[in-house]
Structure 1
Amino acid sequence: MEKRRSQVLAKLVELKLELETHRESLIIGDDTGNIKRIKYHEFVMQSARGTNVYCEVCLICGFRVHDKCIDQVQRQCVSTQIYKTDFSLSLQICPENSLRNQNFRCAECLANISFDEESDKIPRLCDYTGLFYCSRCHWNGK
């Protein structure tokens, strides 16, 4: 458990540094005309000289997407939840839920998912929402 906590903390620090880099480039004036807003995400479109020319990163939440896939983003930026007037943190990790309650479908893209050995879409349980997702919509903290 302690090893996992250290990994999560290291990833948070890495993402925070990346976010600050993007914010600094905005303040300096780099890429200001290069922001693409989709579903409340704010992506700074990188040039070929960027650190990762394949993925764009939301300045607000850190969501990553390929530049070619950016117009197909379905996930709304989590910042919209935080700024709601009725927002409250759930201190209960992984609320009880079942895949049956979701009709054996991914909570985001609605693809069929199941624990069957023949299934190519194994459900992934989100520790925060308690909902099940396919591997395309939930990355198990990666």
Structure 2
Amino acid sequence: VKGGKVKGIDLESAVKAGSNPVDYSPEACPPEFAKDFLKNGGETFVVKRSYDSWSLGMLFYNIYTGKGYFEGKTAGTITKSLAVPNFEPDFREIDDDNLRDLCEKLCKHEPKKRMGITRALLHPYFTSSGLGKWSF
């Protein structure tokens, strides 16, 4: 968000789960990819659905706070930060309890512990919000 406008999202790098990534956006990649990227360039990394969960959590943070989690840091610094064992983002800047909880569950360090997209849609952040008299 800049000047009250949401920036567009680049989807040209999207690949099917089970494929190799076509490029690298450190701001949205999960720790397991950062580690693989530092080890061998990430070319043989296999993208799993948990990658999308991490990216979604980072996107929500960006939209809510109006800045990227790693804003002002270089790609190399971001990658090294993500590769630190047990790195998990600190979402205390998100003052909405439900959204903070959702982001924390989407961005668990361990891919198998991350909330999946279907469960995310059923999270209280979405189910208890609603629009005026219409709630979900």
Larger Rg: 1
Q: Report the TM-score when normalising by structure 1.
A: 0.21
Name the structure where helix makes up a greater proportion of residues: 2
Task: Answer 1 or 2: higher relative contact order, Cα 8 Å, separation at least 6.
Answer: 2
